[in-house]
Structure 1
């Protein structure tokens, strides 16, 4: 056995819950909810991060940029959010997880009770006919977030060891938010009266604002999580859990 693989297995034995170490049948990985239990058991360790094998912590989740480009309807905005720091992903509950090797699909759903986000923003446009212009700090809180991730996968052989790993080829992310609170600083070049009015309006109409921004946000999150989950699966040879 390769020395690196021995180290890998010892690390997971130490850091992952015993339930994660159960194996699933390759022919029917979802039998008796096996893959869901496997995913559910491993998620806390992955969320905390395992630096020994190069898996970074999900908490906080750092995202360089999410762009916004909405040019019609009730919302016309250009710009985006930068240097996002998101706290709360590690508290996710796995609602479902399934693996279908024949159809090359790996899907899962998460429930997150609360996400707290701090970032920089740069936005210009209109929301429900009201102007919005500014750049600066933004603080946001999202409650009762339901996220569904749908992927198309393939099986690859890892270059160094030759071990089979799962590779995500395509990913689609959808989400629903129960409630949102947001505060944008430095709107209208520091005009506090206009800024207070816009922030109050955004919070009163949070669901509508999120609904308008959802397509851009879902595409941005899919792009980010695509790379993140491929890194995770590259550290999880199928021979350790899919027999």
Structure 2
């Protein structure tokens, strides 16, 4: 299915991964940070590699190791809070690049019957764990109401301590990504009966 995921198949509700469009990602890191990204355009997600798959049809659990060599994202952000000992406030356009990302995705599915009498699968739970982001860069425009001195200083601080920034926001981003992809996965799965997905089972 990987070639199909790159371009998408609208008839089967399979979205294009190149680019991947996400209307909203909302992330919170405890009570310290609130981050919302809207109208995100993500390039590079179709270049994923599945390096490991563990599946159990008895329990309908699936664990997938994913490598993404390069991701770029643009969109609009709204951020307020404290991270890497900095207070950050602003909203506006953003751009980011992330290289050599590794993640594990765990899915718990369940079987159900539709009106046609066929059995289908749906994702009951999806958890994303980001293991590695080797490098990257981020640019947030219009920080502190467009103050150029503060904005440049905070962007410089984020990029000079990029791994620390990613570590602090990672749990919140993992949760936001997991919620977004449950809807995408279920939209795809409901197009195909169980026996079509696993004909030998």
TM normalised by structure 1 equals 0.76
Q: Larger Rg: 1 or 2?
A: 1
- The residue that corresponds to 2:5 in the other structure is 46
**Residue 99 in structure 1 maps to residue 58 in structure 2:** no
- The residue that corresponds to 1:64 in the other structure is 23
Q: Name the one with the larger helix percent.
A: 1
Q: How many residues align?
A: 198
Which residue of the other structure, out of 170, 176, 181, is the alignment partner of 1:225? 181
**Greater RCO (CA < 8 Å, at least 6 residues apart):** 2
- The residue that corresponds to 2:103 in the other structure is 147
Q: How does 1:1-243 map to 2 (within 5 A)?
A: 42-71=1-30, 76-159=32-115, 161-175=116-130, 176-242=132-198, 243=200
Q: Give the C-alpha shift of residue 83 in structure 1.
A: 1.4
CA distance in 2, matches of 1:131, 1:54: 41
Q: Give the C-alpha shift of residue 60 in structure 1.
A: 1.3
Secondary structure (helix, strand or coil) at the match of 1:58 reads: coil
CA distance in 2, matches of 1:98, 1:165: 20
CA distance in 1, matches of 2:187, 2:27: 26
Secondary structure (helix, strand or coil) at the match of 1:56 reads: coil
Q: Give the C-alpha shift of residue 151 in structure 1.
A: 1.1
How big is the alpha-carbon RMSD for the aligned residues of Structure 1 and Structure 2? Answer: 1.6
Unaligned runs of 5+ in 1: 1-41
Greater than 4 Å deviation, 4+ residue runs: none
Q: Name the one with the larger strand percent.
A: 2
